[in-house]
Amino acid sequence: MFDIYLTLIARGLSTGAIYGLTAMGIVLIFQTNNILNWAQGNAGMFITYLAFFLLALQLPYPLVILLAIIAGAIMGGLVEKYLIRPVREKSRIGLLMITLGLAMVFEGLAAFIFRPFPRNFEPLLKGSIAIGPITLGQQDVLVIVLSTLIFASLFLILYRTKIGIGARGIAEDWYGARVLGVPVFTISLIIWSISFALSGLVGILIVPRFALEPHFMLPIQVKAFSAAVLGGMNSVLGAAVAGLLLGVMENIIAFHFPYLQESFSLVLVVIVLLFLPTGLFGKKTQRRF
């Protein structure tokens, strides 16, 4: 039984890493723009369709992943510059509606261009690997390794670079940072690019578990929002940790009570918020936008 739980935890870490990466993208945009990006999941879905098209052209899988990440970064930058920036200081509701509209546009474009019927998307790595008593799919190991590298890279960027320091300054006070000479619009563009690039990578890593169709990222986005709220909407570290925690707990719950798997994350969020309104790692802040 102990071996089973070790395997459940390991597989939960793989799933949780996906939740954590997506939640980090959501929190990064929320911190620097004070809006919820409802298009996070569908952006990843659309980029995954682009990757599927590139794979059909017989391009090498690693190259396709790299091109998809670049495409996501470009897409995020364009969205910020031409859709978010013009409305940013005029209407918060307008920004929310833009992200909702983007989610529907991505879904509609995917269905129109690529057709909505499900497709199989092969993983980069097949087969399984035994690590002591734990048996994991090679794709799961890849997800854990890549996610660890990305987590570390993002934290280095946020806490060891001028971009990261500027982003954290914007999170505290957009106008104050602007007065002090922080290039707020450039940093916002970079954050949107990073967020969409993360979404594209997540889509490619997770889609082999599902069928590629216009709604496959919806459950991931719901769980990622749960992780973001659970960890604290003003904490990137909280989003990552909460995503991992949610993945592990969800996997264990699903083993014992499969019918509770889908609702567990939302119930957990409600319970935590009753006692910790700012989440596990969040802190009370007075933000000025």
Q: What is the pLDDT of residues 15-37, one digit of tens each?
A: 999 999 999 999 999 999 889 99
Percent of the chain with pLDDT over 90: 67
- Residue 196 has, within 13 A of its CA and on its CB side, a CA count of 27
pLDDT score, position 262: 80
Angle between helix 184-206 and 162-172 (nearest 10): 100
pLDDT digits (tens, 9 = 90+) for 85-130: 999 878 888 999 999 999 999 999 999 999 888 999 999 999 899 8
Percent of the chain with pLDDT over 70: 98
pLDDT score, position 3: 81
Q: What angle do CA 95, 200, 60 make, to 5 degrees?
A: 155
Where helices occur in 34-161 by DSSP H, the ranges are: 40-56, 61-79, 85-88, 92-114, 138-160
Answer whether residue 151 shows pLDDT above 90. Answer: yes
Q: What is the DSSP letter of 181?
A: T
pLDDT digits (tens, 9 = 90+) for 210-264: 999 999 999 999 999 999 999 999 889 999 999 999 999 999 999 988 888 888 8
Pick from 203, 192, 201: which is nearest to 151 by CA?
201
CA distances from 230 to 48, 220, 255, 277 (A): 27, 15, 22, 9
CA distance 125 to 145: 13
Domains observed in the chain: 2-275 (1.10.3470)
**272 or 49: whose pLDDT is higher?**
49
pLDDT digits (tens, 9 = 90+) for 196-216: 999 999 999 999 999 999 999
CA distance 21 to 138: 19
pLDDT score, position 285: 61
pLDDT score, position 288: 46
pLDDT score, position 289: 46
Number of helices (H), then strands (E), in the chain: 12, 2
Q: How confident is the model at residue 286 (pLDDT cuts 50, 70, 90)?
A: low
Q: State residue 53 phi and psi, 5-degree precision.
A: -65, -40
**Segment among 98-107, 138-147, 157-166, 220-229 with least mean pLDDT:** 157-166
Q: What stretch of H or E contains 263?
A: helix 261-275
Q: Please state the rounded mean pLDDT for residues 60-71.
A: 96
pLDDT score, position 180: 85
